[in-house]
Amino acid sequence: MIEIPEFGRIIVDGKEYTYDIVVYPSGRVERRKKEISKKKHGTSHKLDPEELREYLTEDFDVLVVGTGLWGMLSILPESRELVKDKEIIESPTPEVAELFEKLRKEKRALGIFHITC
């Protein structure tokens, strides 16, 4: 279960994280490797294909991107191209977290969650 209790925090299955995370279809959770995008674009608010490739280690049906509390994270067109055969859902993190929970029960969902702006 995913909860967003406040800016800068996310809780997954009872464990609190204070950084952006990736939730794999298997349930594994890891820190988002946003430094890859930040190094290339000067900001971690752009999801670069090089960063996205890091998360393509498990098969999935749908990519869910929590874009932050105010929707600042965006998926670059080149990143979309990497997963063009998958469903992509992006929305502010509080809105998409609940949807991700529902999707996880029906599909193999890969989630990337930005927890600040």
6 has pLDDT over 90: no
Query: What are the CA-CA distances from residue 76 to residues 45, 56, 101, 115 (Å)?
Result: 10, 16, 25, 19
Contact 76, 47 (CB under 8 A): yes
pLDDT tens, position by position, 47-89? 999 999 999 999 999 999 999 999 999 999 999 999 999 999 9
45 has pLDDT over 90: yes
Burial label, 77 (beta-carbon count in 10 A; 0-12, 13-18, 19+)? exposed
pLDDT of residue 1: 87
pLDDT of residue 73: 98
Contact 8, 115 (CB under 8 A): yes
pLDDT of residue 112: 98
Q: How far apart are CA 32 and CA 52, in angstroms?
A: 10
pLDDT tens, position by position, 8-39? 999 999 999 999 999 999 999 999 999 999 99
Residues contacting residue 85 through CB under 8 Å, at least 6 positions apart = none
Total count of domains within the chain: 1
Domain range holding 49?
2-113
CATH code: domain of residue 90? 3.40.1230.10
Nearest to 77 by CA among 112, 46, 43: 46
What confidence category does residue 90 fall into, taking pLDDT thresholds of 50, 70 and 90? Answer: very high
